[in-house]
A and B are shown apart, each in its own frame.
Chain A
Amino acid sequence: MTNFFSRAALAAVGMSVMATPAFADVNLTMYYPIAVGGPLTEVIDGMIDRFEADNPDISVEAIYAGNYDDTRVRALSAIRSGEPAQLSVLFSIDAYDLIEQDLIVPFDDVVKGEDGKAWLDSFYPALMKNGQIDGKTWGIPFQRSTIVMYYNKDMFREAGLDPESPPQTWDEMVEAGKALAGDGRWGLMVPSTGYPYWMFQCFAIQNGKELMSSDGTETYFTDPKVVEALEFWRSMATDSKIMPEGTIEWGTLRQAFLEGQTGMMWHSTGNLTAVKDAADFDFGVAMLPKHERPGSPTGGGNFYLFKGSSDEQQDAAVKLIRFMTAPEQAAEWSIATGYVGISPEAYETEALETYTEEFPPALVARDQLEVAIPEFSTYETARVREALNNAIQAALTGSQSPADALADAQSQADRLLQPYR
């Protein structure tokens, strides 16, 4: 009996020794989201393992926490309950709220000198915009996207369209859509649940207008060009009938495209690999069509540094971020998902060069960065965004005219942003 107990005690001691990471001086906790399809947690875990092998004195706990909203909730709850994370990947557009809540530190204060400046300048400028507020850099791009147009080449051939020249303007898109639609199939689907504001930014910028000021205190929902953009979106369901009525579900759209329900879809480039792996037909990827000008908002998640870590932890966290955003890892992540390689160097790596040669659609999202604008983000982001989402959905479902719906959203946004002006 005593023998049994001493053995059990020994075993318990052995287990507790095994459970503590070997010789780690610095422990880091980070939360990250995944908002697109595919087994991506393994990719992240693989990167973290390599980082820990290179830096035996740092141990990283990377916690997958669901979609962007879930991850923000998890990270902030952890901070409030005194179990802080030192860094996390969160929505690039959460920056204003995180600053307002006094939770994050700007990278400029941490990475200093020429080397630091060179690092901050190594990313695509379009991807830095959402993280640059009040003259400082608060977010480093990690999983970043633009919206691209996927189209079904087989359906294009059937409809007598040239599969190698996708539509480049609104008018061409409507024409192509009319040729594709009919017989229970649609010409175009643009998702309007989940992130309606994001899709709407495309229509607005293509019509020549951004939705918010760069300091996050003004919105321009009632601008005639913006109203016109929403009227156009609505008209594709009511007048030209190339798109179904009502809202289109973000989560099932990819499946609808894969089943040949629609000839074209607008979706995040983050879905590219998932579409490529599952499509049993010939598909193409194109930049979004232009009207007054071409354009798409950027999207996705940035790395943030949280307040309240020790100097060692902060240095280790920066080291980890620099590793995760280095060209090799950026290339690997881009191939696994379809997200944009975040720096020009990423596209010079052997892996991504080979991949894009075999599969040119992987370059579309990057080429579109030339004309990309920052994702919609203001102070009180979530509420202002919700007002805009509701206006878009009210217009698309026909319960309000685009002009009235946007006027309501604008007055709500004005009320919310007044204290910040």
Chain B
Amino acid sequence: MSTSATITQRRHALYGWMLLFPSLVLLSLFAFIPTGATVWASLFTRGTSRRPSEFAGLDTYAHLTSDPVFWKVVTNNLLYAGVSIPLSIGIALGMALWANARIPARGFVRTAYFTPTMLPMIAAANLWLFFYTPGIGVIDQITGLFGFGPVNWLGQPDTALWAVIAVTVWKEAGFFMIFYLAALQTIPPELREAATIEGASRWTYTRRVLLPLLMPTTLFVLINALINSVKLIDHLFILTKGGPNNASKLILYWIWEMAFAYFDRPHAAAMTVFVLAVLGIVAAVQFRLIDRRAHYR
């Protein structure tokens, strides 16, 4: 290899690193270093004034998985994600197709659908708290007209989580609709005309043309929804605080409790590492699988 070639190569490498440097600094500061610190913190016992912290290895992880609450929050979160993600994406797609059609007052419909997204989650949760209130809440007022008795939606183990899921779907669907709406605007009308000339039914057109073209959007929305199903817990603080008896407790709320109510950093850190690992794996799988099916132009 000639010296000039090596120099050029080195210069290219240097350029590359220089270009990467700003984002490398930012990512290290706000992602890599905290992640490392979290893993590190999960390996030590909790230190207090009377008992100093010591190295514990994986004890904290073992202790975590032997806690029945751990399995409860994981099951809750799986159910929460499993119901709220498909539901909010489905409703978002339906609303987008509807708001994209030639209907009167289209602008008003879009705005109405998007309103829940613009509300802060805490405000939305406070609204819903009063919707759900037994006897005086809107929901009981409406069901009362049909002769049903009051239902304590947030106060029963078998309905509390579902009540929380309903708020989440209501909040998320409008947000995802916006992405679908934008994607629908970009689909050329010629495709539709061509399909009609070929004699394809509306259903065939939707299934064979529209949905595949919307696949990149679906992928984007799906990843967002998945992250939100772990990340979005603001409403729990207002609605149920994870109760009754852990019936509506989600993973992140539990992490918050351990870190700030129980002053138990190691357990909170261990649980965070667990969540990070699972989310990383899921995101990787999603990209590999759906990327093959997504049709980018």
Contact = CB atoms under 8 A, between A and B. Distances in A.
Interface of A: 69, 72-73, 76, 97, 99-102, 184, 192-194, 244-249, 251-252, 255-256, 259, 261, 380, 382-383, 386, 389-391, 393-394, 396-397, 399, 419
Given A72-B260, A101-B263, A397-B155, A256 B48 contact: no
B38 interface: no
Nearest to A253: B133
A386 B48 contact: no
B261 A245 contact: no
Contact of B243 (A72, A261, A389): A389
A102 B136 contact: no
Given A184-B135, A247-B244, A394-B244, A193 B155 contact: yes
Nearest to B149: A184
A102 B244 contact: no
Contacts of B135: 184, 244, 256, 261
Smallest CB-CB A-B distances: 8 pairs: A102-B49, A246-B155, A393-B244, A247-B155, A246-B152, A382-B261, A394-B245, A393-B245
B139 to A, nearest CB: 13
Given A244-B135, A251-B129, 5 more contacts: A247-B155, A247-B244, A255-B133, A256-B135, A256-B136
B216 interface: no
Contacts of A246: 134, 152, 155-156, 244
A252 to B, nearest CB: 5
A382 B244 contact: no
Contacts of A394: 157, 244-245
A255 B241 CA distance: 19
Given A193-B244, A251-B129, A252-B129, A397 B260 contact: no
A257 to B, nearest CB: 10
A209 to B, nearest CB: 23
B262 A397 contact: no
Contact of B261 (A69, A244, A391): A69
Contact of A249 (B129, B144, B150, B157): B129
A102 B48 contact: yes
Q: Which of B134, B238, B246 has the most CB of A within 10 A?
A: B134
Given A69-B261, A249-B154, A261-B136, A393 B243 contact: yes
Contacts of A393: 243-245
Given A100-B48, A383-B262, A252 B130 contact: yes
Interface string B118-156: 000000000001100111100000001000001010111
Among B134, B152, B154, B244, chain A packs the most CB atoms within 10 A around the CB of B244
Nearest to B67: A412
Given A252-B129, A259-B136, A386 B257 contact: yes
B136 to A, nearest CB: 5
A295 to B, nearest CB: 26
B50 interface: yes
Dominant secondary structure at the A interface: helix
A189 to B, nearest CB: 10
A184 B151 CA distance: 12
B36 to A, nearest CB: 18
23 contacts: A76-B260, A99-B49, A100-B50, A101-B48, A102-B49, A184-B144, A184-B150, A193-B154, A193-B155, A193-B241, A193-B244, A244-B134, A247-B155, A249-B154, A255-B133, A255-B136, A382-B257, A383-B262, A386-B257, A386-B261, A389-B243, A390-B246, A399-B245
Contacts of B168: none
A396 B156 CA distance: 9
A126 to B, nearest CB: 26
Contact of B245 (A184, A256, A397): A397
A71 B198 CA distance: 66
B77 interface: no
Interface residues of B, number: 29
Which interface residue of B150, B238, B263 has the most chain A CB atoms within 10 A? B263
Interface in B14-55: 48-51
A287 to B, nearest CB: 27
Contacts of B157: 394, 397, 399
> Of residues A194, A249, A391, which shows the largest number of chain B Cβ atoms within 10 Å of its Cβ?
A249
B240 interface: yes
A330 to B, nearest CB: 30
Q: Which of A76, A192, A383, A391 has the most CB of B within 10 A?
A: A383
B241 A396 contact: no
Nearest to B243: A393
A228 B106 CA distance: 61
Contacts of A391: 245
B154 A390 contact: no
Nearest to B134: A244
A393 B144 CA distance: 26
A251 B243 contact: no
A184 to B, nearest CB: 7
A247 B261 contact: no
Contacts of A396: 244
Contacts of B260: 69, 72-73, 76
A251 B238 contact: yes
Contacts of A251: 129, 238
A396 B157 CA distance: 10
Given A101-B48, A247-B244, A389-B243, A380 B156 contact: no
A249 B246 CA distance: 15
A73 B263 CA distance: 10
A244 B156 contact: no
Contacts of A100: 48-50
Given A101-B48, A246-B155, A247-B155, A252 B133 contact: yes
A386 B257 CA distance: 10
A246 B160 CA distance: 10
A397 B260 CA distance: 27
Contacts of A255: 130, 133, 136
Interface in B136-185: 136, 144, 150, 152, 154-157
Contacts of B49: 99-102
A386 B243 CA distance: 10
A253 to B, nearest CB: 9
A390 B136 CA distance: 26
Contacts of B48: 100-102
Interface in B252-292: 257, 260-263
